[in-house]
A and B are shown apart, each in its own frame.
Chain A
Amino acid sequence: MPRSIFLLLAFSLVLNLGLAQEKVPTVPLKKLNGETLSSDSIQNSGKPIVLSFWATWCKPCIRELNAIHDWYDQWQEETGVKLVAISIDDSRNSSRVRPFIASQGWDYQVYLDENQALKRGLNVNNIPHTFLLNGQGEVVWQHTGYMPGDEAHLYEAIQKVAAGKSLD
């Protein structure tokens, strides 16, 4: 069995050379009004998108979304960025998401990923986990965990992506 793993890894490395940028996989999500939507309909007419995975019980996630909230109007004005918050709360807590957002005063687009299909599809280990997508919907930057101040680094990346610059 271990041999097959090495083979597979070697195989994947070879493949990697010609591989495209990661895109958001197509999985169904739920809007807060109960309608379903497909994750590939998350768009921002060519402007960058921040995809942030969170849950009502995850304190660093809430700290991160609150920190971004303080700057969000300015970020939107300067770069046209849109933040989409993906809640991975399961049926235990999913009914709390709408009242929770209202009390926080967030004006993000929020979708439910109740059985974590998108979380799994984007290979998220732990939350908070934040992705930055460019205008073509490709993942160009990502970050796991949250420390106060991380939002400034996220914004540097957003500015570069909005200006069509490379992040390297």
Chain B
Amino acid sequence: MLRSSFFFALLGLPLVPVLAQNSTPELGQLSGNFQLNSQIYLRDSLIDPLGEAYPDERLRAAGFLNLTYTRGNFRAGIRYENYQNNIIGLPEGFQGQGIPYRYARYTKDGLDVTAGNFYEQFGSGLVFRAYEERGLGLDNALDGVRLIYDGAPGITFKGLIGKQRLYFGMGDGIVRGADMEVNLNELTGNYGGTNVIIGGSFVSRFQNAQSPIYNLPENVANGGLRFNLITPHLNWFVEGAYKSQDPNSSNSYIFKPGKALYSNLSYTRGSLGLILGYKYYDNFLYRSQREGQFTELLINYLPPLAELHTYTLPALYSYNVQANGETGFQAEVSYRFEDGSFLGGKYGTLVNLNFSHSKALDKDFTYRYTDSLGTDSTISGTDGYTTGWPGFGDITYARDFNVEVKTKLSSRVKGTFSYYNFAYNRSALLDGVVDDRITPSTDIKIVHVNAFVADVLWRISMQNSIRFEGQLMLTEQDRGSWAMLLAEYSMAPHWFVALQNSYNFGNPNPDLRVHYPILSLGYTQGSTKFQFTYGRQQQGVFCVGGICRVVPASNGFSLLITSNF
């Protein structure tokens, strides 16, 4: 109640003088959006023998409403959220209802002040990124105060303090941060097509420590420097960061400081694009509370530098950043063969090649014996391990090669054809086995995959079209091979209907060689969309931005409504 009255006070504030003067041509604007996702679950003992995806409630629904008020330089907003209870596969911590997000903000003379909840990012996010990914149930908004000043040309300063959201509450830690970015060309007024941007950020989190075992640091600092050179053809970005001792439950309470280096170089000329990326993350998970799990209370973001698989079957194996230690690189080439050329055909052809490799760091672990016999050991309480640079370890987390060819087959038919060849470390990326346990073990499950995807769009008329997807994913490991077919018919601007079926024909267990059919029906009216789905959803990993969650297999009806006003 306290929170909502706080908001009323904020909302009412700018209106008071206007209403009092009783001359109000401009009352400001009100806008917002709404989403509701509800599911009715059906018991399916074949794909879900333990009933994990069959909740007692039978029906669950989750949704939110955002309301934003703007008047001139002033802006205020709230978000009401409701989870009765949360949809299966999303974090169970979101339960009940409330207004976990409300803010007021104004900008004047280059100063931008926010009080309440806000999202923010410094550089590439290595040091600080507060953001939301609703699809993952990730929301680490800060509740506090933020100042941004960009009144002087070429300089942007940001400062913030607050606590992070944890479901309908707050994490224990206090987060303080500052960032400065300088665009040298804007600063000196020297524009010549080349831009040099430098930046630095510093964040510190404070959390009380009362451990009887360890002398835990209460303040943990994380600082980074970045450099970006941009010419008409080239873009080189590099950011390095260092984190002080941060023993926490995710790194097994080791006292080693963290290091991170991330760099990206891209070159563009005509239709040719080249990208090279490099990452080195050593013990770089950073939360505002030592005991946080999963996607809770993350302060920073580590770019995964691996291709995001978007087609259903390859997306069953998506890359998940290993913040405790990984290094790797990515290379990508894209080129468009022009219309009428030998390789371009009549309408032109676009080719994209991508290769990435992520490995564990080469770690030499430091153990401490916890019993007098010297048999039970742990890395907790020590520096954990030693490693060097470049530090490529023996264990591969993921190696991925893929090719995509996009072309027009006729004036009405377009096709995208992809081939994937990848190796995926199931133990680390799906089962969550941490590397101090993988290294001594010989039992690492690597899944080797070859996959093909054809995606063809046929425009029957201006308003009517059919899209087909055929996918084949071959592997001897894990759940074996899969095939998938999809047909989607759409009638712009309102209707679409789609039918898809995935078939796990290669499952080593013959009883699990089952079909997963899904029927979807959608209706769009302007910015409002209704989508109805019925079918069997396979167990999988759903990832956004290199952060993933495991979604159990389920069966049932769902209705999704989104709208915007």
Given A91-B125, A95-B237, residue A36 in contact with residue B150 (CB < 8 A): yes
Given A15-B27, A116-B131, A153-B492, residue A142 in contact with residue B526 (CB < 8 A): yes
Count of chain B residues with Cβ under 8 Å from any Cβ of A? Answer: 97
Q: Let me know if A148 and B459 touch, CB within 8 A.
A: yes
Q: How far is the CB of A88 from chain B (nearest CB, A)?
A: 11
Q: Let me know if A96 and B332 touch, CB within 8 A.
A: yes
For B558, the chain A residues whose CB sits under 8 A away are: none
Q: Let me know if A123 and B32 touch, CB within 8 A.
A: yes
Closest to A120 in B: B119
Give per-residue flags for A77-109: 1 if the beta carbon is below 8 A from chain B beta carbons, else 0.
Answer: 000000000000011110110111011110000
**Which one, A35, A125, A150, contacts B35 given CB within 8 A?**
A125
For B68, the chain A residues whose CB sits under 8 A away are: 121, 123
Determine whether B552 belongs to the interface, using a CB cutoff of 8 Å to chain A. Answer: no
Give the docked Cα–Cα distance between A145 and B562 (Å).
11
Determine whether B31 belongs to the interface, using a CB cutoff of 8 Å to chain A. Answer: yes
Determine whether A74 belongs to the interface, using a CB cutoff of 8 Å to chain B. Answer: no
For A11, the chain B residues whose CB sits under 8 A away are: 11
Give per-residue flags for A105-117: 1 if the beta carbon is below 8 A from chain B beta carbons, else 0.
Answer: 1000000001111
For B303, the chain A residues whose CB sits under 8 A away are: 90-92
Determine whether A136 belongs to the interface, using a CB cutoff of 8 Å to chain B. Answer: no
Give the docked Cα–Cα distance between A98 and B193 (Å).
15
Q: Let me know if B235 and A19 touch, CB within 8 A.
A: no
Q: Let me know if B27 and A91 touch, CB within 8 A.
A: no
**Which one, B70, B99, B270, B492, contacts A152 given CB within 8 A?**
B492
Q: How far is the CB of B311 from chain A (nearest CB, A)?
A: 9
Determine whether B501 belongs to the interface, using a CB cutoff of 8 Å to chain A. Answer: no
For B69, the chain A residues whose CB sits under 8 A away are: 12, 15
Residue of B31, B97, B304 with most partner-chain A CB within 10 A: B31
Q: Which of B206-214, B273-281, B430-438 contacts A (4 or more CB under 8 A)?
A: B273-281
Give the docked Cα–Cα distance between A96 and B11 (Å).
40
For B266, the chain A residues whose CB sits under 8 A away are: 95-96, 98-99
Give the docked Cα–Cα distance between A152 and B462 (Å).
8
Chain B binding surface, main DSSP class: strand
Give the docked Cα–Cα distance between A123 and B526 (Å).
14
Give the docked Cα–Cα distance between A23 and B24 (Å).
18
Q: Let me know if B99 and A1 touch, CB within 8 A.
A: yes
Residue of A99, A105, A126, A129 with most partner-chain B CB within 10 A: A99
Q: How far is the CB of A17 from chain B (nearest CB, A)?
A: 9
Give the docked Cα–Cα distance between A35 and B196 (Å).
10
Give the docked Cα–Cα distance between A104 and B30 (Å).
37
Give the docked Cα–Cα distance between A20 and B24 (Å).
11
For B275, the chain A residues whose CB sits under 8 A away are: 95-96, 99
Determine whether A73 belongs to the interface, using a CB cutoff of 8 Å to chain B. Answer: no
Give the docked Cα–Cα distance between A122 and B98 (Å).
22
**Which one, A19, A25, A102, A120, contacts B272 given CB within 8 A?**
A102
Given A95-B264, A115-B119, A147-B496, residue A20 in contact with residue B131 (CB < 8 A): no
Contacting residues of chain B (207-258) with chain A, CB-CB under 8 angstroms: 228, 230, 232, 235, 237
Determine whether B383 belongs to the interface, using a CB cutoff of 8 Å to chain A. Answer: no
Q: How far is the CB of A67 from chain B (nearest CB, A)?
A: 9
**Which one, B1, B26, B66, B97, contacts A123 given CB within 8 A?**
B66
Q: Let me know if A149 and B183 touch, CB within 8 A.
A: no
Q: Let me know if B273 and A33 touch, CB within 8 A.
A: no
Q: Let me know if B29 and A91 touch, CB within 8 A.
A: no
Q: Let me know if A25 and B70 touch, CB within 8 A.
A: yes
**Which one, A34, A117, A152, contacts B183 given CB within 8 A?**
A34
Q: Let me know if B4 and A4 touch, CB within 8 A.
A: yes
Give the docked Cα–Cα distance between A25 and B77 (Å).
13
Determine whether B44 belongs to the interface, using a CB cutoff of 8 Å to chain A. Answer: no
Q: Let me know if B546 and A92 touch, CB within 8 A.
A: yes
Closest to B24 in A: A18
For B490, the chain A residues whose CB sits under 8 A away are: 147-149
Q: How far is the CB of A134 from chain B (nearest CB, A)?
A: 15
For B559, the chain A residues whose CB sits under 8 A away are: none
Determine whether A28 belongs to the interface, using a CB cutoff of 8 Å to chain B. Answer: yes
Q: How far is the CB of A112 from chain B (nearest CB, A)?
A: 11
For B385, the chain A residues whose CB sits under 8 A away are: none
Determine whether A160 belongs to the interface, using a CB cutoff of 8 Å to chain B. Answer: no
Q: Let me know if A34 and B562 touch, CB within 8 A.
A: no
For B121, the chain A residues whose CB sits under 8 A away are: 91, 114-115
Q: Let me know if B195 and A92 touch, CB within 8 A.
A: no
Q: Let me know if A2 and B235 touch, CB within 8 A.
A: no
Contacting residues of chain A (1-32) with chain B, CB-CB under 8 angstroms: 1-2, 4-5, 8, 11-12, 15-16, 18-23, 25-26, 28
**Which one, A8, A22, A34, contacts B29 given CB within 8 A?**
A22
Given A90-B125, A115-B121, A148-B457, residue A20 in contact with residue B29 (CB < 8 A): yes
For A28, the chain B residues whose CB sits under 8 A away are: 150, 156
What residues make up the interface of B, taking CB atoms closer than 8 Å to A? Answer: 1, 4, 7-8, 11, 24, 26-33, 35, 66-70, 73, 75, 78, 80, 97-99, 107, 119-121, 123-125, 129, 131, 150, 156, 183, 186, 193, 195, 197, 228, 230, 232, 235, 237, 264, 266-275, 277, 301, 303-305, 308, 310, 332, 334-336, 350, 352, 455, 457, 459, 461-465, 490-493, 496, 522, 524, 526-529, 545-546, 562-565
- Which 9 pairs, one residue from A and one from B, show the smallest C-beta to C-beta distance? A99-B273, A149-B492, A91-B124, A123-B33, A148-B465, A147-B490, A149-B463, A115-B121, A4-B4
